[in-house]
Amino acid sequence: MAGLSAASVAFVYGCSSSSGGLGSDDTTGPGGGGDASMTSGDGAVKDSAPAVPPHLIFVTEEAFSGDLMSAANGVGDGGDAGANEAGAAFTDYRAAADALCQRAAASAGKTGNFIAIIQANGDDAFARIKDSDGPWALADGTPVANTQSELKQGLWRVSVDQTASGATRTDAGDNGQNRVWTLGVPAVDCNSYSSGTNAHGSYVGDFALTGPDGISVASVTCDKKSALYCAQVGAGAGPNVFPTPPAGSKIAFTAPGPYPGDFGTSDAGFADASVRSGDAGADVHLVADEACNEMARGNGLAGKFHAWVSSSTMPAGAYFSSLAMNGPWVRIDGIEVAASLDDLTAAGAHAQVELGADGNFLSNLGGRIWSGTNGDGGIATGANCNNYTTQSAASSSRNGKSTYKGIEWASVASDQCSLSAGFYCFEE
């Protein structure tokens, strides 16, 4: 990874100080679950393929109304021709949801014990999961979490949007929503998931997101079809293994700030006034870049970094192009953000940029990110806090959120300039 010192590689990846840059074979992934590794003759820690894979976590391909018991019993939507896996009618919502997860896993040729991450009646959706059940990864091996606490807090390395077969879901229910039945509470739990009508409701997560919103983002009526999160439990999980970035990879991270809406003229407490040229359009980039570089330097990253933000005269995509920036970019944990600038402007971020320059999750998961930018890297006209010179609630900026990926990663909401936000930072 260009500009990343050997010392910082050792800090971020747990390698010895003799390690080379990213893209070499001397990297191991972070995380409390530990990666499969071995020590070579020179003392360096190297990746080795795990003898046993981590446990699987997935979202069901099938979507169900809130009447999960009828679905499992084979008499409702998503039924199985009148037969159920246990040979008897389900009367408990968890048993029914677990059966639907087990059926989805078996359909993909997966063996093991799978349970649904779901709750009703004041239960805890994660109480049945123990640290010893993990770690968990998507079907393609991408790490998600190492512990029960990480699952419960939404500290997911990537969103759980793959099915048991490894297909990426794009719509699990009605009206183009990525809904997953999750954290029902008393009186708002589809009558313990036995009702599929609009007379009842429950809470859903969004499988395209990480953080708290991935677990619970809204309530919907029980006639709206939603998927289920399914986690493999029991003994025998192998370690999570993080990807080895390709040679020449560069870092992308989030500087969480929070920085005010008038960062273009205020110094914002992080940039010396000498970095500004006096031109408002230039100030936006110079000051935001300085915020990124101060964060990078403070965490041992030696490269030069630039913020993904647009002024009224210079869109973020064109700004990166003018600096001959072209990736590939990865997060500190090696998970890819974008293969190239064209990839970033066409498809958005492949994974949520929710890690800071130190490789840790942001303390404000789902945090607001100053952008002023459309999903294609172009200017969001009239939506950049007047070139980030105002904190007025009457002005707004088009922004991203750190728990989003795809084309919404930097363009998902319009926020008042009286608020504060962070920056997405990319290595030159």
pLDDT (tens digit, 9 = 90+) per residue, 157-174?
999 999 999 999 987 555
For residues 136 and 281, membership in a common domain is answered with no
For residues 34 and 64, membership in a common domain is answered with no
Q: Which residues pair with 189 in a beta bridge?
A: 202
Residue written as token pair 């750190």 = 402
Length of the chain: 428
Residue 5 has pLDDT above 70, yes or no: no
Q: Exposed (0-12), middle (13-18) or buried (19+): which is 55, by Cβ within 10 Å? A: buried
Beta strands 420-427 and 250-260 are antiparallel
Residue 239 belongs to a domain: no
CA dihedral of 417, 421, 157, 376, whole degrees rounded to 10: 50
Closest C-alpha among 75, 228, 115 to residue 163: 228
Domain count, the chain: 3
Residue 81 belongs to a domain: yes
For residues 25 and 161, membership in a common domain is answered with no
Closest C-alpha among 259, 292, 264, 288 to residue 278: 264
For residues 196 and 313, membership in a common domain is answered with no
Residue 240 belongs to a domain: no
3-class secondary-structure state, position 99: helix
Residue 387 belongs to a domain: yes
Query: Which of the pair, 76 or 65, is modelled with greater confidence?
Result: 65
What is the pTM assigned to this prediction?
0.84
Q: What mean pLDDT is predicted for residues 23-52?
A: 38
Q: What mean pLDDT is predicted for residues 356-368?
A: 91
Q: Which residues pair with 194 in a beta bridge?
A: 67
CB 373 within 8 A of CB 380: yes
CA–CA distances in Å: residue 136 to residues 55, 239, 247, 260, 337: 5, 8, 27, 37, 21
Q: Which residues pair with 259 in a beta bridge?
A: 421
- Domain boundary (201, 233, 265) is at 233
**Could you give the CA distance from residue 233 to residue 119 in angstroms, rounded to a whole number?**
17
Say what the pLDDT of residue 427 is: 98
What one-letter code names the amino acid at 158?
A: V
Residue 116 has pLDDT above 80, yes or no: yes
Say what the pLDDT of residue 215 is: 96
Mean of the per-residue pLDDT values of the chain: 83
In DSSP notation, 260-284 reads ETTHHHH-TTTS-GGG--S-HHHHH
For residues 71 and 138, membership in a common domain is answered with yes
For residues 168 and 92, membership in a common domain is answered with yes
Residue 241 belongs to a domain: no
What one-letter code names the amino acid at 252?
A: A
Query: Which of the pair, 78 or 284, is modelled with greater confidence?
Result: 284
Q: Which two tokens stand for residue 148?
A: 């029960």
Q: Which two tokens stand for residue 387?
A: 């070139």
Say what the pLDDT of residue 175 is: 52
**Could you give the CA distance from residue 169 to residue 220 in angstroms, rounded to a whole number?**
20
What DSSP element (H or E) covers 329?
strand 329-330
| Phi, psi (deg, nearest 5) at residue 103 | -65, -40
Question: Which of 12-26, 75-89, 304-318, 349-363 is least confident?
Answer: 12-26
Say what the pLDDT of residue 49 is: 54
pLDDT digits (tens, 9 = 90+) for 194-217: 999 999 999 999 999 999 999 999
Residue 92 has pLDDT above 80, yes or no: yes
CB 307 within 8 A of CB 424: yes
For residues 387 and 300, membership in a common domain is answered with yes
For residues 216 and 94, membership in a common domain is answered with yes
Residue 277 has pLDDT above 90, yes or no: no
pLDDT tier at 89 (50, 70, 90 boundaries)? confident
Residue 412 belongs to a domain: yes
**Could you give the CA distance from residue 144 to residue 206 in angstroms, rounded to a whole number?**
15
Cα atoms in the 13 Å half-sphere on the side-chain side of 120 = 23
Residue 244 belongs to a domain: no
**Could you give the CA distance from residue 267 to residue 74 in angstroms, rounded to a whole number?**
63
Say what the pLDDT of residue 143 is: 97
pLDDT digits (tens, 9 = 90+) for 118-131: 999 999 999 999 99
Q: What mean pLDDT is predicted for residues 242-264?
A: 92
pLDDT digits (tens, 9 = 90+) for 376-397: 999 999 999 999 999 999 999 9
pLDDT tier at 55 (50, 70, 90 boundaries)? very high
Say what the pLDDT of residue 90 is: 85
CATH number at residue 276: 3.10.100.10
For residues 214 and 83, membership in a common domain is answered with yes
What domain range includes position 12?
1-49
Say what the pLDDT of residue 278 is: 44
Question: Which of 22-36, 289-303, 356-370 is least confident?
Answer: 22-36
**Could you give the CA distance from residue 188 to residue 209 in angstroms, rounded to a whole number?**
22
For residues 45 and 76, membership in a common domain is answered with no
**Could you give the CA distance from residue 173 to residue 298 in angstroms, rounded to a whole number?**
44
For residues 193 and 118, membership in a common domain is answered with yes
Residue 32 belongs to a domain: yes
Question: Which of 24-38, 96-110, 211-225, 323-337 is least confident?
Answer: 24-38
Give Cα 240 distance to the centre of its chain: 16
Say what the pLDDT of residue 36 is: 35
For residues 255 and 218, membership in a common domain is answered with no
**Could you give the CA distance from residue 270 to residue 256 in angstroms, rounded to a whole number?**
12
Span between the terminal Cα atoms of the chain, in Å: 11
Say what the pLDDT of residue 197 is: 95
Query: Which of the pair, 343 or 277, is modelled with greater confidence?
Result: 343
